[in-house]
Amino acid sequence: MQRTAQQGELGVFQTIEERHSVRKFDPEARIEREELEELLTVATKAPSSWNIQPWRFIVVDDPKRKEELLPIAYNQKQVVESAAVIILLGDLEANKEAEAIYQTAVDNGFMPKEVKETLVGQINKAYEGNSPFPRDEAFLSTSLAAMQLMLAAKARGYDTCPMGGFSREALIETFDIPSRYAPVMLLAIGKAAQPAHRSARRPLEDVISYNSLT
């Protein structure tokens, strides 16, 4: 039976189809900080384990700072030509925020205090020792926030380019990033000067199976 798509659904699907990674940006295009913050607010609506929200954003929109960032990103020109570059960091000690997050939920009547205490205990336990969970969660949830930011930007008429190719050591040193935070990616945002390169996608049958991998 054929489904009839709702208007909102059409909008979401169209945004996803139209989003591509752009590498040539209009260097004259600007995005006001107020609008950037609106887009980042949408990004923070992304899901995370226990709602721990382990992401942090550094907005680099000063031309001098972008020039500093350019060699760190192996001279990818979108760093200086885009309106801004968002440095996305994952919080490796996000459990330290759990008490405040869940107390706010209690104060707003979202959960009883006893549930809060149980959940905070679980979160702190997950972050103990040498478990890979803190890093895995930091990268997973921050990547979800990045995807949400890219789609929100496209819906507003902006283009983006996520970048994993950069020197994490140099970024940490140049931007004085504490060891608590792990660089996840750089994300250029602005107006495209040229359309994105067309790309081929693998057919669905190459990437999907049901109930087992084989």
Q: Which pTM does this prediction carry?
A: 0.92
Strands, sheet with 84-91, edge to edge from the N-terminal-most edge strand: 55-60, 84-91, 181-190, 159-163
Q: How far apart are the first and last CA of the chain?
A: 29
Report the C-alpha gap between 137 and 94 in whole angstroms.
9
**DSSP H or E run through 4:** none
Domain 19-192: top CATH class: alpha beta
User: What is the residue-level pLDDT of the chain in tens, covering all 214 positions?
Assistant: 345 445 555 588 999 999 999 999 999 999 999 999 999 999 999 999 999 999 999 999 999 999 999 999 999 999 999 999 999 999 999 999 999 999 999 999 999 999 999 999 999 999 999 999 999 999 999 999 999 999 999 999 999 999 999 999 999 999 999 999 999 999 999 999 998 888 899 999 999 999 999 8
Question: Other CB atoms closer than 10 Å to residue 4's CB: what's the count?
Answer: 5
